[in-house]
Amino acid sequence: MQSTRLNKLLAFLTTEPNDPFILYALATEYNSLNDTEQAYHYYLKLVDEHPAYVGTYYHLGKLYQKHGETDKAIAIYEQGMERAREKGDGHAFAELQGAYNTAAGLDYEDD
C-alpha cells in the first residue's frame, strides 16, 4: 500500500514532471519507505538532469553507504562538494565534506 504522501507526490509529478523539488521529495519518500530501487532512480535522475540541486548528493551518498557502496558514496560526495562550491553554498559544502570525511575514514580525532 502506498502512502498518502507518496500518492500526492506522484500526482504532483504528473503536472510538473521536471520539477527538481518534486523529484527530490519522491526520492526521499521512496527512501523512507525502503524502496531502494525507486529512491536510486529519482536521486540519479536529479544528478543527471538537475546537477545544481545540491541536497541530492548528501542523501544519495548516504544511500550508497547504507548499501555498502562506499566508493560510489565517496564519488557522489566529491561531485556534490564541487557543485556546492560552484553555487557558493558553504553550508551544503560543509555537510558534504563531513559525510565525505566519514565515508573516506578521515573523521578521526588526535589522541
Q: Distance between CA atoms of 87 and 63, rounded to whole angstroms?
A: 24
pLDDT tens, residue by residue, 60-73: 999 999 999 999 99
Q: What pLDDT band is residue 98 in, cutting at 50, 70 and 90?
A: very high
Q: Spell out the CATH class of 4-103.
A: mainly alpha
More confident residue, 109 or 5: 5
Mean pLDDT of 69-94: 97
pTM listed for this prediction? 0.90
Question: How remote is the C-alpha of 71 from its chain's centroid?
Answer: 15
CB 58 within 8 A of CB 80: yes
pLDDT at 1 over 90: no
Spatial neighbors of 97 by CB under 8 A, at least 6 apart, are 77, 81
